[in-house]
Amino acid sequence: MFEGTYTALVTPFKNGKVDYPSFEKLIERQIEGKVQGVIPAGCTGEAATMSPQEQLELIQFTVEQVKGRVQIIAGTGSNSTREAVEMSEKASKLDIQGVLVITPYYNKPTPSGILSHYYGVADASKVPVMVYNVPGRTGTKISAETIAELAKHPNISSVKEACGSVDQVCDIVSQCDVNVLSGDDGLTLPMMSVGAKGVVSVSANVMPAEVSAMVKCALEGDFAAAKIAHYELLSFHKSMFAETNPIPVKTVLGEMGLVTKELRLPLEYGKESTVELAHKLIADYNLKA
């Protein structure tokens, strides 16, 4: 169901509150860049530091701003199954096309617990569920075998795979027909070469047209053109890991004047070297606000 480029939107803050005028401009930037969808209230959007009410308001604003022009996959995950179920149930009543649900973090659930968690969310949600496998954030890796079991649920349609492993994608694709989207910008093309269908992108916050163009080439089988675009973007993708996500991407956006220079603690705006890197990227890629 989900193919192409989906931008994991940052959440602009101003004086501790969501900066909706800036968020509106970010959404329009994505639509102009021809992405297939946007993801509000995900990890890149600092959802872990937002209240449930703030998350729902952000998702509702996204619905009202998008007006059906692109797909919306709302971040509704939590390390508490009850909270993830409640958030997914509420968000899925809005005009969205899916929910993105992270593996429960800190708890380190067993494979059986992971199955029960996602089945509970999938039963409650009125829209398809995208599993988010990111062991670097959660401390738990979902195996390909467990993903294959999850894919048997009729409402679990896809997985955002951020293990940093092309082998993991191969194992998933060989065991089930769930749609795999890359959760690592720099691995999007390698993952698509073995069966992934696109990317949930951080870099697209800044360069939506360039990321979506590369993914489109790969989906159409033009891997020669996709390879050229991949290497043109690779330095930028790698720079987004100079500090913890979303610090680098927000620093680039902040230095471009697209968002205020504000994150929520415990994250902070980029350190001096990250700000210098942001200015280099802006110059090297001729980035415009």
Terminal alpha carbon distance of the chain: 32
Fold of 4-222: TIM Barrel (3.20.20)
Position 289 scores a pLDDT of: 82
Residues with catalytic annotation?
Answer: 132, 160
Position 113 scores a pLDDT of: 97
How long, in residues, is the chain? 289
| 127 Cβ neighbours under 8 A, 6+ residues apart | 92, 96, 97, 98, 99
The pLDDT tens digits of the residues spanning 239-257 come to: 999 999 999 999 999 999 9
Q: What angle do CA 67, 68, 70 make, to 5 degrees?
A: 115
Q: Which residue's structure tokens are 């062991």?
A: 135
CA-based nearest residue to 160, from 139, 185, 126: 185
Position 216 scores a pLDDT of: 98
Which stretches of the chain are assigned E, i.e. beta strand? Answer: 4-8, 13-14, 17-18, 37-39, 71-75, 98-102, 129-133, 156-161, 179-182, 198-201
Burial class of residue 21, CB neighbours in 10 A (0-12, 13-18, 19+): exposed
Position 32 scores a pLDDT of: 97
Position 239 scores a pLDDT of: 98
Helix (H, G, I), strand (E, B) or coil at 102: strand
pTM: 0.96
Position 218 scores a pLDDT of: 98
> Domain-by-domain residue ranges, the chain?
4-222
Query: What are residue 68's phi and psi, to 5 degrees?
Result: 75, 5
Q: What angle do CA 159, 211, 1 make, to 5 degrees?
A: 35
Q: From the centroid of its chain, how far is CA 285?
A: 22
Q: Do 143 and 133 meet the contact criterion of CB atoms below 8 Å apart? A: no
Over the chain (289 residues), the average pLDDT of each successive run of 10 is 96 97 98 98 96 97 98 97 97 97 96 97 98 95 97 96 96 96 98 98 98 98 98 98 97 97 97 98 94
The pLDDT tens digits of the residues spanning 35-87 come to: 999 999 999 999 999 999 999 999 999 999 999 999 999 999 999 999 999 99
